[in-house]
Amino acid sequence: MLSLQCFGRRWIRAARTIVVVLAAGIPLRAAESDPDAQPDTTPQAVVADFLGRYCAECHNADSAEGDREFDSFKLPFASAEQQITADEIVDQVTLKVMPPEDATQPTDGERLALLGALRDGIEASREQFRSTGGRTVIRRLSNREYENTLATLFDRRVDTLGLTADFPKDNTVGHMDNLGESLVTSGFLLDQYFQAASRLVEARLGKPAMEPKTWHFTDNFRQYEELSNPHRHAFQYEYLCLYEQPNTDTRQGGYGHIEDFLDGVPVAGLYDIDVHAQAMHRDTHYDPKIFRIDFSEPFQLAVVPGDVTKGHIHYPQAIEPILGRAIVPDDQPEWLTFRVWLEAGQTPRLIFPNGPYESRASVIAVNKRYKDEFDPKKYSAGVSRTHILREGALPHIRIGEFKVHGPIEEPDGGKEELAVFGPEGFQADRALEQLFAFGRRAYRRPLNDSDRDRIESFYQQRLSDDAAPRQAALDTLKMMLCSPSFLYLSEITPEEETLLGPYDLASRLSYALWAAPPDAVLFAAADNGKLTGPGELKKQIVRMLDDERSEAFVSGFTDSWLNLREIGNLPPPRKAAPQYYSENLPESMKQEARRFFRHLLDKDGPVSDFLDADYTFVDKKLAKLYGLPEQDTLRLADGFQRVSLADNKQRGGVLAMAGVLTVSANGVDTSPVTRGVWVMENILGTPPPPPPDEVPSIDADVSGATTIREKLSKHSEDKTCFVCHRNIDPLGFALETFDPIGRWRSKYPKPKGKAPAATIDASGKLPSGETFEDFASFKAVLRASRHELFQRSLIEKLLTYATGRQMEPADRFAIDDIVARVQADDDAGLRTVVIEVLTSELFRSR
């Protein structure tokens, strides 16, 4: 006999069937169990019968689990929302996520019949519900694009100025930093634009002329705080020494400056820096573990700018890009030369990029472990840094002389003069002509009469204020760099036209691939009107992808897609992961993903390699982190190299990259929920809905895999929670064999007390019924059954990044077309996908 509860459920299901078929307009008689009646095989009946049998119990107007109710759902679709619902049903049924595993399951024939009916219904409604509002809203340049644009217009790096250092951080949507809806403009930001334009123009084009000069320093190499006395006693300030890499905990000996050159260079320009340096005690007999560096690598010396007005000169500062790098000789001092760009007031500082992690800790350790090597009568109070420098073997870089020469004279008045005013430099009698030419490049389109009137009016006004012609021109440049036509990617395509005109298309393409304005070749294609033709557009895309400037696309897209720009926001404790800091792992983590993406882009490699691959790209630092055999053969100078993972089940694909594993953790511990959501959002393109407000969050528990699984199991006992966690948790369990910075592990950290460390269980079962035992088999499942889902997700993210707007549900048809074209090409790889995206109507539309 049936239990009352079971009987009740069946009665409800039967009742729901009646409701659904009535809503679908099917005669009740056809839905009754009449043995003589012929089954209705119309699409409407197929859909109604399936939903009534397998979905109505949970997805009705009363319960609407997952915010989905099918009581009013019917064919043909009455709204775009029903079209979207149909698309979701297709995805869920195809993957066998729905009906849930514990419910009555349809036959394969029933599934196929439903999918056929829904897909036909979706296609039939394609034109009826075509997107009408999917347009890229006018947006400003992101901070990243702003600096790239200025560097392009002035033909010189601008990161030494730190123009955006005080700008508000760009908001992101789905990790994308270039979407119009998030790039708001405030009064504070406008003020920052004015200041940045003034600083740039005056520093680069308004600087006074100056004959080259040489400064030579041989003594008074003072160092501060706890380094001061040892240097006075041991060297009488005759040497400048570097003891550690920059930005350590204690910050002692990471930056070397010239005490008699604190005012810096008088004008911005190129300067030659000559340093007489030697690597000391790289062959030290002290235990290398004390210093946390690889002594097989030669010591490196690098130059960064410093500004005594911006904070401690011997501490990290906000603006300190590396300007030059060299290898320091071991046997004897040699002159090392760097040609660097310095802004007015900046003083060159020296750093030791691959130096010991913490100088103070090194000295303390040497004192404790090697004190017997020193005369106890002389050092009864303990061995100090002074004693070790005099008689010991403390590794460091020693500098005895320092020269600065400049500013170096450049042809045609310098890159900026040439870029802004042309080969002849500023010409007062041609000032407006020169300003108009610059305006065309800055505004990324031909100037109209209003543009010319505004530029001429401002220039003449400055002349009437008694400004010299050149200064009037420079002030006009500042005005132009604060114009909405420069700061915004506004469009000049007529409002009634759907497809972008040639100049707007050129800008969209150049910012998608270069994060910078169009070059002369792209402008020429826009000028002659050929760019809007499919052949010319594809030709330009291929040219731009092959150009080194497309690295801006590689870094910009991977940072957005994989959220790599967030690496470092939640760093691990220094004691738990010292190499994260001592080897600057965040930069290597980002580079692995970029090199992998670049390789597939150049070779048109299969996008399925993102899910799993038998190779990756690592430098020596990542080879050590991953435990690869190449850690013994790679040198720092080799940079990133392709390595085989043919026999390695721990790595391969983006999910095994340390950068991805770091941004999907919180630095301290890992959570299957957090990483599972990350996979759903960034790999599968199926983000889960936000949890209900009344459901408490789960704190990650690294005391054991059993514990975290038990917590999630209890949390999922609530039916509302189970609907989402059955999709999320297995994806996260598969990644539990990686710690918060991507190191492989088989056990969780040992908890406090006597309890043993728990073994990690990385197995799981997907809602579709597929199971996996470990990370390797999980990737195999993804590649076998989720490849098309991933491919579609990647295409949608590429479209979002390239157009500057989120894709709407109604854009699905255009995305379907791109997916179909890619899948029709058996040899299609990442380059093919990118070209299809950038030649699509979605990309070319307003």
The predicted structure's pLDDT at residue 812:
85
The predicted structure's pLDDT at residue 128:
62
- Across the chain, what does the average pLDDT equal? 88
The b-or-e profile of 488-506 (16+ CB within 10 A means b, else e) is bbbbebeeeeeebbbbbbb
Taking only the tens place, the pLDDT of each residue in 572-626 is: 988 889 899 989 999 999 999 999 999 999 999 999 999 999 999 999 999 999 9
Residue 82 has pLDDT above 50, yes or no: yes
The predicted structure's pLDDT at residue 64:
54
Residue 749 has pLDDT above 70, yes or no: yes
Taking only the tens place, the pLDDT of each residue in 238-290 is: 999 999 999 888 888 899 999 999 999 999 999 999 999 999 999 999 999 99
Residue 824 has pLDDT above 90, yes or no: no
Q: Residue 696: pLDDT band by 50, 70, 90 thresholds?
A: low
Q: Are 326 and 336 in contact (CB under 8 A)?
A: yes
The predicted structure's pLDDT at residue 630:
96
The predicted structure's pLDDT at residue 364:
93
Taking only the tens place, the pLDDT of each residue in 154-174 is: 999 999 999 999 999 999 999
Count of Cβ atoms closer than 10 Å to residue 457 Cβ: 11
Q: Are 284 and 295 in contact (CB under 8 A)?
A: yes
CA atoms within 13 A on the CB side of 382: 9
CA dist list (Å): 429 to 423, 425, 469, 477, 478: 15, 12, 9, 17, 20
Q: Residue 18: pLDDT band by 50, 70, 90 thresholds?
A: very low
Q: Residue 704: pLDDT band by 50, 70, 90 thresholds?
A: very low
The predicted structure's pLDDT at residue 34:
54
The predicted structure's pLDDT at residue 356:
93
Q: Which helix (H) or strand (E) holds 124?
A: helix 108-124
Taking only the tens place, the pLDDT of each residue in 28-81 is: 334 444 555 566 678 878 888 888 787 777 776 666 565 566 767 777 776 767
Residue 556 has pLDDT above 90, yes or no: yes
Which one is predicted more confidently, 615 or 724?
615
Q: Residue 697: pLDDT band by 50, 70, 90 thresholds?
A: low
Q: Residue 690, preceding bond cis, omega within 30 degrees? A: no
Q: Residue 25: pLDDT band by 50, 70, 90 thresholds?
A: very low
Q: Tokens 């039939």 belong to which residue?
A: 124
Taking only the tens place, the pLDDT of each residue in 87-121 is: 778 777 776 777 877 778 888 788 888 877 877 77
Q: Which helix (H) or strand (E) holds 643?
A: strand 641-644
Q: Residue 703: pLDDT band by 50, 70, 90 thresholds?
A: very low
**Least confident window among 112-116, 637-641, 815-819:** 112-116
- Summarize the confidence of residues 519-546 as an average pLDDT: 97
Residue 3 has pLDDT above 90, yes or no: no
**Least confident window among 90-104, 302-316, 536-550, 754-768:** 90-104
The predicted structure's pLDDT at residue 422:
94
**Least confident window among 176-185, 473-482, 798-807:** 176-185
- Summarize the confidence of residues 510-537 as an average pLDDT: 97
- Summarize the confidence of residues 373-384 as an average pLDDT: 80
Residue 12 has pLDDT above 60, yes or no: no
pTM of the model: 0.85
Q: Spell out the residues 6+ positions from residue 679 whose beta carbon is closer than 8 angstroms to its own.
A: 655, 731, 732, 735
Share of the chain above pLDDT 70, in %: 87
- Summarize the confidence of residues 796-818 as an average pLDDT: 92
Q: What amino acid is encoded at 655 in this protein?
A: L
DSSP annotation of 681 reads: I
The predicted structure's pLDDT at residue 7:
33
Question: Exposed, middle or buried by CB within 10 Å (0-12, 13-18, 19+), for 683?
Answer: buried
Which one is predicted more confidently, 55 or 539?
539
Residue 132 has pLDDT above 80, yes or no: no
DSSP annotation of 574 reads: T
The predicted structure's pLDDT at residue 327:
97
The predicted structure's pLDDT at residue 316:
94
The full DSSP string for 746-784 is SBPPPPSSSPPPPBP---EE-TTS-EESSHHHHHHHHHH
The predicted structure's pLDDT at residue 743:
96
